[in-house]
Chains A and B, each alone.
Chain A
């Protein structure tokens, strides 16, 4: 079996629940557009979410068919995307990460500022910081759920768009054109990829 790239997304409960789900969908849908095999889902153990609870959203990307069908958690995430920078203080976000992982953080702060709060930073090969909340600040956010299982609203309107752009720049897993093609906020994806500062460690 070819290596399956695991992407774990950390988001705050309720306020970022929809955008976190959209980010995992953007990662999976854009890789799907490149002809890869993908999976995207929410973490069942984190539900029901309360305001501010750290939530996990997952995506998997593989060149070959993914056979990890009944594993509901990403035990060894290669890419970790954090949608709120204060989560890195409260959670061991790099839990289970193999050496050489990639971290993408939505923050106004510098990468060195954030690395102070990560004790196991030797696992990382690079850290990327993008101010996605600033880029998508004027976008109205709704808290629509996905009870029906199908996204009614367009995917990638808020802060998920710039973060997906930053993730494509940081990881190289996704092509920027395909992320732009699947996201609703196309300008936000481009701005996020431009504004993202990648720091090699």
Chain B
């Protein structure tokens, strides 16, 4: 019985289980940057790199750039919930209206 083989047509031969390519860092199918009315602006001088913003951000929009040793912010997914502003112990984050910035435009045809 060991050399038994199912007779499966060639076009139905699929790998066991479903293979779904998971997004490594970003999911372009769920961009939420246009939910935002205000964005957190960081003062790099006052920042102590405590990583509280990285820990508390629900969308993982903050990460530490190890080369420059600065916290980097992702405009495409930040919903503007301002949790990072609340949690920052050094008070180096300030909310500022989105239309003050000409850059960081996330323009979609449908809301999400």
Contact = CB atoms under 8 A, between A and B. Distances in A.
Interface of A: 12-13, 45-46, 50-56, 84-87, 89-92, 95, 109, 113-114, 116-117, 119
Interface in B43-58: none
A56 B97 CA distance: 22
Given A85-B99, A91-B107, A91-B111, 11 more contacts: A52-B36, A52-B80, A53-B35, A54-B34, A86-B36, A90-B107, A91-B109, A109-B99, A113-B99, A117-B105, A119-B107
Contacts of B105: 89-90, 117
User: Which of B33, B99, B105 has the most chain A CB atoms inside 10 A of its CB?
Assistant: B99
Contacts of B80: 52
B36 to A, nearest CB: 7
Contacts of B98: 86, 89
A75 to B, nearest CB: 12
B35 to A, nearest CB: 4
B105 to A, nearest CB: 6
A138 B39 CA distance: 25
26 contacts: A12-B37, A46-B111, A50-B35, A52-B37, A53-B35, A53-B112, A54-B111, A56-B111, A84-B37, A85-B99, A86-B97, A86-B98, A87-B34, A89-B105, A89-B106, A89-B107, A90-B34, A90-B36, A90-B108, A91-B34, A91-B108, A91-B109, A92-B107, A113-B99, A116-B102, A117-B105
